[in-house]
Amino acid sequence: MSMFWRFGFHGTNNIDNLLNQEEVSLEAILDHDDLLSECKQQNPRLIDYLQRPEVLQRLFAYVTGEIISEGRGSFKYPYVSAEVLCCEIWSIVERCMENSAQILTPFWDIVLSMQPDELIAKASVATHFSKISGTFLMKKPEEMLAFIKSIPDVVNRMLSHIESPPFVDLLFRIIQLDETPGNIGVMEWLSSQNFIPSIVDRLSPRYPPSVHLVVTDLLKGIISVASPSPGSFNLNGPHDSGPTGPATNRFVRELASTSIVETMVGFMLDEAPLVPQSMKYWKQPNKDRKMPLKKKH
């Protein structure tokens, strides 16, 4: 009998047996040890089940923590749900994009609405959020960017979580869409959202050093990706890059603009505005802390 099993002469697998049940639960599927391997093998019955909108909603709910399981499921279900959503099942991404208002909008809204401290404490949520969103961006760049652009004040809301490394990774993935053939307009959109000024604002002494370190690394990464050619700078402000270099040069020229340089010099001299516009989503870690008085010269 073992010969038949060795060479694949066996009946339906356990997942197919589960799917034969009239009321199979998602948790029973998530508990199955062969779930991810069956996803990789493109099990048609499993794919048909997983791409149901109500099933996708529950998968995302496990990722965000809306649904909390007890025991080992408290870690396993969010992790396996994220892995399923990131696997090579294109129909899952397509179904999510087709039903973005019911599936993706709540997913993004729940995560972006978390307080920065809360999301840092829930590191796995941020990690899964970045991984899933990055996977969708890779598979459906134009559609996913259009969805992200539809979210109100999305750039500032993402930047409010800049201390969370997965969010920095996701921001970079969005920036790298500039390399997608066909120019889908990501640089123009980010510039229209004051992306660079909003990042530079976070170099203000009103932000903690931990934010300064993240912002510095992000800006250095943007500069390295841009690789501007000599003479491509325009100190009067951002303009289309034209033939002088990649579109990402737009950000480098913004950084080299007079207003941005003056702002950064002001921060160096501790002459920052009291309440930068982009700080409206930032929560002061210690409201009772007094800011140091500037020395009189």
Percent of the chain with pLDDT over 70: 79
Global pTM exceeds 0.75: yes
> Could you report the per-residue pLDDT of 111-126, keeping only the tens digit for each?
999 999 999 999 999 9
- Residue 13: the pLDDT is 63
Q: Is the pLDDT of residue 80 over 70?
A: yes
More confident residue, 21 or 228: 21
Determine the pLDDT at residue 224.
82
Question: Considering only 46-55, 81-90, 188-197, 247-256, which range has the smallest mean pLDDT?
Answer: 247-256
Please tell me the predicted confidence (pLDDT) of residue 221.
Answer: 87
Higher pLDDT, 60 or 3: 60
Please name the residue that has the structure tokens 């002001």. Answer: 266
Whether the per-residue pLDDT at 2 is higher than 80: the answer is no
pLDDT value of residue 286: 44
**pLDDT tens-place string over residues 40-68:** 999 999 999 999 999 999 999 999 999 99
Name the percent of the chain lying above pLDDT 90: 62
Residues in the chain: 297
Q: Is residue 153 scored above 60 in pLDDT?
A: yes
Taking the C-alpha atoms of residue 34 and residue 21, their distance in angstroms, rounded to an integer, is 18
CA 59 to chain CA mean position, Å: 17
Long-range pairs, 270-277, Cβ under 8 A, ≥24: 270/205, 270/294, 272/204, 272/205, 272/206, 273/204, 274/206, 276/201, 276/204, 276/206, 277/201
The whole-number average pLDDT for the span 90-102 is 96
- Which residues 6+ apart lie within 8 Å of 47 measured at CB? 39, 89, 91, 92
CB-count exposure of residue 207 (10 Å: 0-12, 13-18, 19+): buried
pLDDT for 250 = 85
Average pLDDT, rounded, for the chain: 82
Q: Are 252 and 228 in contact (CB under 8 A)?
A: yes
- pLDDT at position 232 over 90: no
CA distances 83 to 62, 106, 127, 218, Å, are 12, 19, 12, 27
pLDDT tens for 262-292 read: 999 999 887 545 444 444 444 444 444 343 4
pLDDT tens, position by position, 159-184: 999 999 999 999 999 998 887 777 78
Question: What is the pLDDT confidence band of residue 227, given thresholds at 50, 70 and 90?
Answer: low
| pLDDT above 70 (res 187) | yes
Tell me which of 35-49, 70-84, 88-102, 170-184 is least confident: 170-184
Amino acid 244: pLDDT: 40
**pLDDT number for residue 249:** 77
Stretch 201-226: mean pLDDT, rounded? 90
